[in-house]
Amino acid sequence: MFELLTSIAPIALGFVAKLFALKSHAASDNQKLMIQAMQVNEKSTAAAREFSKSESAGAAWNRRFIILVVLGLLIFIQVSPVLFDVDTVIETTKEGYSFLGLFQITPDIVEYVRVKGVIKYDEVYQFASLIISFYFGAQLAKK
């Protein structure tokens, strides 16, 4: 029994040591790849910054013009019902009855209700904040 244990113990220890060595080598390779990826990312960022410095003044004005037009259209959508006395229509849905949410017994009824005033559309404000965020992000990349 002791002979069997002395025969198997070195094999098991060698196996475990080899697993640790493979794990250490894989971690080292992973770290090298991460460093290479960070260097490539840094080079890409530096190249983008250099390119943005060489951008013409006309390109910056084009971008500003597009942003102002889009924001103007978003404002017009909000203000036009009041300025031009246009009725605003809201879609309302009356849900039908369903059995345990599985079987639709009565259909949904969609109605359009006219209202006076301006409606706050969340999508409009999200879109405007997205445009402004892109603009400021582009400005930060220049510095």
Per-residue tens of pLDDT for the chain, all 143 residues: 667 667 777 777 788 888 888 898 888 989 999 999 899 888 888 887 777 677 677 777 887 887 788 788 878 877 777 788 777 788 888 888 888 777 788 888 889 888 776 666 777 778 777 877 777 776 666 55
Nearest residue to 77 via CA among 129, 135, 123, 115? 123
Distance linking the first and last C-alpha atoms of the chain: 74
Domains of the chain, residue spans? 1-54
Q: Look up the pTM and report it.
A: 0.39
The DSSP secondary structure of 115-126, one letter per residue, reads ESS----HHHHH
| Two tokens, residue 128 | 């405007």
